[in-house]
Amino acid sequence: MSESGNGSPAVLTLNAGSSSVKWALFRMDSLPVRTATGKIERIGLRDGIVTVTDVATGHNERRIEQVPDHAASVRLLIDQLAYSGKGLSVQAIGHRVVHGGSRYADPQVVSAEVMEELRRLSPYDPEHLPAEITFIEAFGTEYPQVPQVACFDTGFHQHLPPVARLLAIPRRYETLGIRRYGFHGLSYAYLMEELERVAGRDAARGKVILAHLGNGASLAAVRDGVSIDTSMGFTPASGLPMSTRSGDLDPGLVSYLARTEGMTTEQFHHMVNAQSGLLGLSEISPDLRDLLAQEGRDARAAEAVALFCYQGKKWIGAYAAALGGLEQLVFSGGIGEHAAVVRARMCEGLEFLGIHLDREQNEANVAVISSPESRVTVRVIRTDEESQIAQSVCRLLALNEVR
């Protein structure tokens, strides 16, 4: 992949997490066209996993690599791009940045000022921001002439009303930026665009609940195309229980565990982000597929699945109340797109809201899974954060117009 000049214009998207990084290459046509994707997983563990897919041929490669840290993953990725990006000339690099704080909502061209603010925000999200900063710096060094764009996961929720934004703690902390932000914004922005495409503008401007259910899980209430509430708050650990994150907890646990077990703030942070959720409850696995396979013979697995579905149902009910009704319910994310049993259990008992699923349609994972008598249209839409990043980069830099 050349930096400029030779080859078809392309955009590279990067989504760096605490132990993984996902990437995609898009050729610039009238709309971005994905040509290759990849993922580096288990960074820092004994056996890293590198996956690369050539979209045109469908060829998929998976191999084991030693990836001791993010610096090593950067080198691996740059080497891979030299192969996957043949014939492409990268015009811009888009990064998913989980937290934009109070200052950044819209995509930003990376500058010294932006980097300074991201470093200041690192304590807001130590699970993601340090890795994202590492990748921005490394690719800035590797491709110094190529503009980089930060796309913020918090941006979709920038207009949360005060009643959904404020935390009930002393007011002075709000001036320090401590409030509810919400996350999964790139996914939600994509889902709203897709909803308008498949169902029309009126549907997308109605009363909508979006459920992004994956390793990280959250829901958002959207009215007139604007987020009015969302389950994640100041950090991505809040809201629903997730694969390894606790979701909402009684804050009194912090002082209780400090007194009784001598638990430090760092240990508590690690526990609620990496040892809790489905993994902590089941003591088996953070993967819902594993728990569904074992729930018939292991009570811990069954209870973990039941709690996840029960909490999802509660948020749907709460957001129907916040919206003053419900017209569209959209499931997405790895669990939301593929786990029919989870969708069914979350919707069970919500007939009073007008939600009725078609069992066969739900089990077939089709686009509309509600029955004809359902007042609420229940949909399954595959999310695509990488495509959303690429489109945001193109809009900001007017790359299609340059061509």
* Active-site amino acid positions: 153
- Amino acid code (one letter) for 297: R
DSSP conformation class of 66? -
DSSP conformation class of 339? -
- Amino acid code (one letter) for 95: H
Rounded (10°) CA dihedral 282, 283, 285, 286: 70
- Amino acid code (one letter) for 344: A
| Short-list 101, 234, 240, 243, CA closest to 165 | 234
Strand partners, 27: 10, 33
- C-alpha 69 chain-centroid distance: 22
Burial of 108 (0-12, 13-18, 19+ CB in 10 A): buried
- Amino acid code (one letter) for 226: V
**Phi-psi map region of 300: left, alpha, beta (phi>0 left; psi -120 to 50 alpha):** alpha
- 236 φ, ψ (degrees, to nearest 5): -75, 0
Beta strands in 224-283 (DSSP E): 226-230
Classify the C-alpha dihedral 184-187-193-194 as positive or negative. negative
**Distance set, CA 75 to CA 67, 71, 86, 328 (Å):** 10, 7, 17, 44
Question: Rounded CA gap, 45 and 211, in Å?
Answer: 31
Pairs from 269-275 (Cβ < 8 Å, separation ≥ 24): 269/126, 271/246, 272/237, 272/245, 272/246, 273/127, 273/237, 273/244, 273/245, 273/246, 274/244, 275/244
The answer to whether 216 and 245 are in contact (CB under 8 A) is yes
